[in-house]
């Protein structure tokens, strides 16, 4: 097997790596040394000449050059990474998958002291207060290191090596954990093939005596039953409550039935529910958890792309009324969200494609790397292309979009913040909701409606001089490439106007429009009705290639 040592600068990756390699008669592959040898310059010189981006390109090439993991028994190669190598999701996928990553961890104070004594120059630390610099690196990177099992690296090298060797005894498992974070809106674990093992660990951490699973027939057949069986195998009793499939789960009468089931099972205040399903199931199970006994803990295992990058994050739970969607709900943050990208393989193409509209939204909010990823791999991801899963493209898309939402919500949980907060997540949604309402919440997927909303917001932004023409064209081209909102509006324009007017009235007469600008979005409360009207008309005028913008 390959052992990959990760951790902050000064955590001892090279020293521990050398000793470990020596003990197993193998060699240490030090990525930084490879980069230096290849460039014929020191790391400080590369940073000075090419900047951090230039260094990262070289780093990616060095990770690629490792080739496939060595799957033989015993320690075959020891790989020491630069502290920042695992920030890039693509590098992390290649370094963690099929290999045994180990996090060498120590407190920033200890690391700062070691760095002061180190003869190596560290460009990201040089010239700064070392403790402050190490702390800010730790805050930015810990979620990537924490995906790997941790060994305390404060001890002597020999003891740290022993700790790593203990982990080697079990080798790399079939699952790959890519990110693990504790946030104020719950714990997040992202990975591939992790659902069952991460759920078992989470329930153990919560001290659960049994697993009370809420699911629905589609998710259950695709993966829920398998996950529940693994939980049962771990020794926990599993109780299952099945809600109807899709939007039918989001009814008060369904919640009543499920709550009565919980009462019959004598579920107590501290017992966590486990929601296994897509956004509809998660919204309903979340509302059940928010209200049963005035609130019980919940762990989400989202099984659709919408749920993994959007609905399971942020604590909004809701059910529908005949008068409208999501009219009754509550904020209820989950204990944990376990995001297993492998579960998306069975999702119908249309579901994956529609959900990509939410990923486009997150990219437009300001993630250029996500934008480029969607342009390059979006079609393959929508189509469920195996290569898109194997290359790590699906994992990177999910991580980027999901984490961006975590950060926005953690900063402005109740949407009370200024215009840069949670409100920005409404990009494409004012218009998208109107399209959904006008289409009668029938066959149209939420993401398909949001895609029309993104086109409308772009047209409005363009007309108001906020969205530069080349950016508008790029957003439109990406949506077209993904097969989203490429045709005429799927509902009568008069109904869209009526739904927008109703929303405006509901919002006190001022709809706050989120509109793309040069590299992100701006919020405008003052978009004239005639500008919105022209956007509607534009979306009705199809060309041979589909809708122009
Ligand atoms: N709370 C929020 O912040 C938030 C955000 C966005 C959307 N939502 C809500 O999410 C809902 C839409 O979510 P959705 O698109 O996930 O729909 P969904 O939950 O209805 O799932 C779509 C379909 O996929 C099936 N399915 C689920 N997992 C599967 C798997 N792994 N393989 C194969 N099939 C699978 C389901 O059975 C269902 O038929 C809407 O109700 C919307 O209001 C909520």
Our count of domains for the chain comes to 3
Q: How far is the CA of 340 from the centre of ligand 1 (A)?
A: 15
On whether both 84 and 192 belong to a single domain, the answer is no
* pLDDT score at 413: 84
The whole-number mean pLDDT for each consecutive block of 10 residues of the chain, a chain of 549 residues, reads 94 93 95 95 93 94 95 94 92 96 91 75 69 90 96 90 93 93 97 97 96 98 98 97 97 98 97 98 98 98 98 96 91 98 96 97 96 97 95 97 95 77 92 90 89 96 96 97 91 90 83 94 91 88 51
The answer to the question of residue 514 being in a domain is: yes
Q: Which of 347, 365, 400 is the last residue of a domain?
A: 347
Q: Which of 299, 315, 347 is the last residue of a domain?
A: 347
* pLDDT score at 121: 63
Among candidate residues 54, 65, 53, the one with its CA nearest the CA of residue 95:
65
* pLDDT score at 111: 85
Q: How far is the CA of 418 from the centre of ligand 1 (A)?
A: 30
Q: Which residues line ligand 1 (CB under 6 A)?
A: 216, 218-219, 222-223, 245-247, 250, 277-281, 283, 303-304, 306-307, 310-311, 314, 316, 325-326, 343, 346-347, 351, 446
CA-CA-CA-CA dihedral for 135, 139, 140, 141, to nearest 10: 90
On whether both 163 and 195 belong to a single domain, the answer is no
457 vs 538: CA distance, rounded Å: 12
CA-CA-CA-CA dihedral for 132, 6, 110, 136, to nearest 10: 10
Q: How far is the CA of 86 from the centre of ligand 1 (A)?
A: 31
Helix/strand/coil for 37: helix
pTM score: 0.95
On whether both 169 and 200 belong to a single domain, the answer is no
* pLDDT score at 544: 40
On whether both 195 and 311 belong to a single domain, the answer is yes
Q: Which of 173, 201, 235 is the last residue of a domain?
A: 173
Which residue CA neighbors atom 20 of ligand 1 most closely?
Answer: 246
Domain of residue 206: give its range: 183-347
């Amino acid at each position: 097997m390959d052992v990959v040592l990760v951790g902050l600068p000064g955590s001892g990756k090279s020293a521990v790596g050398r000793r470990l390699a020596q003990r197993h008669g193998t060699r240490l592959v030090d990525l930084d040394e490879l980069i230096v040898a290849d460039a014929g310059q020191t790391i400080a010189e590369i940073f000075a000449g090419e900047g951090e981006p230039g260094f990262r390109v070289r780093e990616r090439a060095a990770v690629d050059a490792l080739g496939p993991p060595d799957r033989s028994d015993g320690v075959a190669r020891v790989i020491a990474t630069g502290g920042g190598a695992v920030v890039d999701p693509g590098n992390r996928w290649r370094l963690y998958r099929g290999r045994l990553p180990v996090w060498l961890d120590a407190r920033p104070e200890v690391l700062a002291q070691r760095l002061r004594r180190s003869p190596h120059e560290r460009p990201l630390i040089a010239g700064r207060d070392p403790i402050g610099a190490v702390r800010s690196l730790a805050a930015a990177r810990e979620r990537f290191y924490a995906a790997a099992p941790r060994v305390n690296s404060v001890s002597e090298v020999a003891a740290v090596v022993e700790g790593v060797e203990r982990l080697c005894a079990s080798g790399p498992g079939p699952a790959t954990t890519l990110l693990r974070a504790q946030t104020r809106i719950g714990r997040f674990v992202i990975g591939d093939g992790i659902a069952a093992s991460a759920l078992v660990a989470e329930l153990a951490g919560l001290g659960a005596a049994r697993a009370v699973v809420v699911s629905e027939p589609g998710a259950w057949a695709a993966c829920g039953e398998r996950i529940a069986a693994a939980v049962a195998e771990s020794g926990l009793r599993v109780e299952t409550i099945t809600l109807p499939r899709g939007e039918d789960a989001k009814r008060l009468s369904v919640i009543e039935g499920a709550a009565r089931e919980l009462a019959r099972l004598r579920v107590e205040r501290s017992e966590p529910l486990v929601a296994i399903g897509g956004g509809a199931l998660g919204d309903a199970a979340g509302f059940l958890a928010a209200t049963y006994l005035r609130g019980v803990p919940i762990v989400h295992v989202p099984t659709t792309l919408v749920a993994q990058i959007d609905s399971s994050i942020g604590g909004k739970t809701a059910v529908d009324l005949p008068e409208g969607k999501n009219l009754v709900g509550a904020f209820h943050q989950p204990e944990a969200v376990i995001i297993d990208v492998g579960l998306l393989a069975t999702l119908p193409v249309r579901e994956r494609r529609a959900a990509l509209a939410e990923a486009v939204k997150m990219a437009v909010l300001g993630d250029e790397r996500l934008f480029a990823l969607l342009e390059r791999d979006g079609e393959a991801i929508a189509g469920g292309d195996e290569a898109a899963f194997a290359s790590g493209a699906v994992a990177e898309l999910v991580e980027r979009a999901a984490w961006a939402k975590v950060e926005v919500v953690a900063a402005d949980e109740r949407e009370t913040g200024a215009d840069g907060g949670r409100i920005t997540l409404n990009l494409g949604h004012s218009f998208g909701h109107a399209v959904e309402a006008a289409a009668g919440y029938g066959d149209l997927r939420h993401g398909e409606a949001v895609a029309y909303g993104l086109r409308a917001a772009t047209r409005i932004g363009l007309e108001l001089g906020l969205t530069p023409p080349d950016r508008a064209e790029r957003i439109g081209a990406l949506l077209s490439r993904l097969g989203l909102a490429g045709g005429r509006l799927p509902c009568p324009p008069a109904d869209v106007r009526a739904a927008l007017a109703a929303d405006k009235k509901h919002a006190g007469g001022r709809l706050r429009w989120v509109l793309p600008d040069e590299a992100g979005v701006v919020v405008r409360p003052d978009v004239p009705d005639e500008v919105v009207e022209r956007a509607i008309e534009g979306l009705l005028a199809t060309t041979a290639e589909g809708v122009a913008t």
